[in-house]
């Protein structure tokens, strides 16, 4: 079933009786050519591009809960490609280009909204760093504008410009950045993959790998053994736990990040605004809620909830940047578990076990990567070679000293 304006009108006039489930609910087959573990954004996108771009239809996605229940449905929905380093920038720009055509591509409204991402700076040194970043972006063919204080004031006059500690000295704007309705991304990819023959199997937890003579033959699940030609793992914050079942230790720690939503307000924010000094980022959803977040809680965690000190810290950051939000009520808050990698950058690579592939370590910026991550992982699974924009995302970069460390923090995951 394809969605269209005509279809919406027809259903409106006939009592909405013609809508069908957007994907099937098949029982697992005994064997697939390719198994993708994890029905989050990255796993579903991988399956979608495997079917659509690489012509692989005998594919299944195994999800322990329900699709969209993980980080893809828990994040603050920001997309951007304002990276500095060569290993990252072409990849995230590839992702941005896929976002731009995504809805037409999978015939599903994901509310991709390029409302702009503005990173504020508060010191001369920070402005110099942003100028450098903006130039690096432009050298890679990505849009970037450096704003002075007046430029920021024109866009967002309500910000606290007179803050003595962190005066706003300007900002780096990526006009093509913005937000996307996060769970619609999972649904759109799921539907698109399903339409092309991929089995999406929910309530099916992978509990182990069947590895014989160093070759992965399939996976043990709560619904029995499922054989596979190749297995790709894309389980976001569960990477450490899942890959341990295959006997692997990863350059990854799991940490919790919280997100917050206020009550609905009238249109207020022009786009996404990030507070470079206090680490607070905020946008406004189409329903009017302010969606915001800040730092991770800072220690290893698998609890899908955070602790109060970070709530206080985030709200302080928000208040010092936009004092007017002090009267808005906080409606909801939650936490998600992310893979924090040792250099803050992801991994898309084969493993030492033959036919077992890994995609993870997205830290707290992996939502924007969803389309490119899916495409690049599908490329690796289908062809055996890394996609041209993801050649730096290898396990061996730590061994070789080729870290992609955007923040220059070293092997300290809670600082990335």
Partner 1 sequence: MIIPHPLLGPRDSQEFTYLGDASLIERPDWQAEDAVGRFHDYLYLRDNPAGAHRELWFHEQGDRSWLVVTRDTVTHEIISAELARDVARAKGRSK
Nearer to partner 1 among residue 238 and residue 262 (C-beta): 238
Of the candidates 18, 247, 309, 384, which one interacts with partner 1 according to CB under 8 A? 309
CB 379 within 8 A of CB 272: no
Choices 59-67, 311-319, 325-333, 393-401; region in contact with ligand FAD by CB under 6 A: 59-67
The 10 Å CB-count burial string (b at 16+, else e) for 360-374 is: bbbbbbbbbbbbbbb
Q: At its nearest, how many Å lie between partner 1 and the CB of residue 278?
A: 17
Closer of 215 and 303 to partner 1 (Cβ): 303
Burial 120-144 (b: 16+ CB within 10 A, else e): bbbeeebbeebeebbebbeebebbb
The residue behind tokens 């967002």 is 156
Cα torsion at 294, 299, 305, 306 (round to 10°)? -50
Is residue 253 near partner 1 by the rule CB under 8 A?
yes
* Six token digits for residue 169: 């000295």
Binding residue for partner 1, selected from 2, 20, 165, 249, defined by CB under 8 A: 249
Residue 155: CA count within 13 A, CB half-sphere: 24
Q: Is residue 207 near partner 1 by the rule CB under 8 A?
A: no
How many residues touch ligand FAD (CB under 6 A)?
Answer: 40
| Residue 41 falls in which region: left (phi positive, over 0), alpha (psi -120 to 50) or beta | alpha
Q: How far is the CB of 190 from partner 1 (least distance, A)?
A: 26
**Among partner 1, ligand FAD, none, partner that 351 touches (CB below 5 to 8 angstroms by kind):** none
Q: Which stretch binds partner 1 (CB under 8 A): 3-11, 25-33, 357-365, 406-414?
A: 406-414
Q: Torsion angle of alpha carbons 383, 388, 390, 394, nearest 10°?
A: 70
Instruction: Find the angle CA(33)-CA(37)-CA(43) to the nearest 5 degrees.
Output: 95
Write the interaction track for ligand FAD spanning residues 3-42; mark x where CB under 6 A is met and - where it is not.
Answer: ----------------------------------xxxxxx
Tokens of 358: 């890994």
Instruction: Identify which range of 196-204, 239-247, 326-334, 346-354 contacts partner 1 by CB under 8 A.
Output: 239-247
Query: Alpha-carbon distance 321 to 161, whole Å?
Result: 8
Q: Site residues for partner 1, window 51-110 (CB under 8 A)?
A: none
Using CB under 6 A as the binding rule, whether residue 224 contacts ligand FAD is answered as no
Are 329 and 398 in contact, with CB atoms under 8 Å apart? no
Task: Kindly state the helix (H) or strand (E) to which residue 232 belongs, with its residue range.
Answer: strand 224-233
Please state, in angstroms and rounded to a whole number, the distance separating the CA atoms of residues 50 and 57.
7
Which window, 62-70, 120-128, 170-178, 248-256, contacts partner 1 (CB under 8 A)? 248-256
Torsion-angle region of residue 408: left (phi > 0), alpha (psi -120 to 50) or beta?
left
300 has which bridge partners? Answer: 255
Closest separation in Å from C-beta 246 to ligand FAD? 11
> Pattern of binders to partner 1 over 277-306, x per CB under 8 A?
---------------------xxxxxx---
Two tokens at 25?
A: 């609910």
Distances (CA, A) of 9 to 6, 12, 106: 5, 5, 20
Among 264, 398, 405, 409, binds partner 1 (CB under 8 A): 398
Map the footprint of partner 1 across residues 315-344, applying CB under 8 A. Answer: 342
Site size for partner 1 (CB under 8 A):
24
Q: Which is nearer to partner 1, 7 or 241 (CB)?
A: 241
User: Using CB under 6 A as the criterion, which residues of the chain lie in contact with ligand FAD when the complex forms?
Assistant: 37-43, 62-65, 69-72, 74-78, 205-206, 234-238, 242, 257-259, 293, 336, 338, 362, 364-368
User: Using CB under 8 A as the criterion, which residues of the chain lie in contact with partner 1 when the complex forms?
Assistant: 240-241, 244, 249-254, 298-303, 307, 309, 342, 398-399, 411-414
């Amino acid at each position: 079933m394809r969605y269209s304006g005509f279809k919406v009108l027809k259903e409106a006039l006939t009592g909405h009786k013609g809508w069908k489930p957007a994907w099937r609910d098949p029982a697992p087959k005994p064997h697939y050519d390719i198994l993708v573990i994890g029905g989050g954004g990255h796993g579903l996108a991988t399956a979608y591009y495997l079917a659509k771009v690489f012509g692989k239809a005998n594919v299944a996605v195994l999800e322990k809960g329900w699709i969209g229940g993980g980080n893809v449905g828990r994040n603050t929905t920001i997309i951007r490609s304002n990276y500095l380093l060569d290993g990252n920038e072409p990849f995230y720009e590839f992702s941005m280009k896929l976002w731009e055509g995504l809805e037409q591509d999978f015939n599903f409204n994901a509310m991709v909204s390029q409302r702009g991402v503005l990173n504020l700076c508060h010191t001369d040194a920070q402005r110099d760093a942003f100028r450098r970043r903006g130039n690096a972006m432009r050298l890679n063919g990505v849009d970037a504008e450096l704003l002075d204080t007046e430029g920021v004031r024109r866009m967002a006059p309500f910000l606290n410009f007179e803050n003595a500690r962190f005066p706003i000295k300007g900002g780096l704007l990526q006009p093509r950045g913005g937000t996307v309705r996060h769970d619609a991304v999972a649904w759109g990819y799921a539907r698109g993959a399903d339409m092309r023959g991929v089995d999406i199997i929910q309530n099916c937890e992978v509990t182990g790998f069947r590895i014989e003579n160093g070759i992965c033959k399939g996976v043990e699940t709560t619904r029995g053994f499922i054989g596979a030609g190749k297995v790709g793992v894309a389980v976001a914050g569960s990477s450490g736990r899942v890959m341990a079942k295959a006997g692997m230790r990863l350059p990854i720690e799991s940490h919790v990040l919280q997100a917050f939503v206020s009550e609905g307000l009238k249109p207020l924010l022009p786009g996404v605004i990030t507070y470079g000094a206090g680490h607070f980022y905020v946008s406004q959803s189409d329903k009017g809620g302010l969606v915001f977040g800040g730092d991770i809680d800072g220690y290893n965690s698998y609890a899908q909830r955070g602790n109060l000190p970070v709530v206080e810290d985030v709200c302080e950051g928000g208040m010092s940047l936009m004092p007017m939000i002090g009267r808005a009520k906080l409606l909801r808050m939650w936490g998600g578990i992310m893979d924090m990698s040792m250099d803050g950058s992801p991994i898309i690579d084969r493993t030492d076990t033959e036919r077992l592939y890994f995609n993870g370590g997205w830290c707290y910026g992996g939502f924007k990567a969803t389309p490119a991550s899916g495409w690049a992982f599908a490329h690796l699974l289908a062809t055996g070679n890394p996609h041209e924009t993801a050649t730096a995302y290898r396990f061996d970069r730590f061994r070789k000293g080729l870290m992609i460390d955007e923040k220059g923090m070293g092997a300290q995951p809670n600082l990335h």
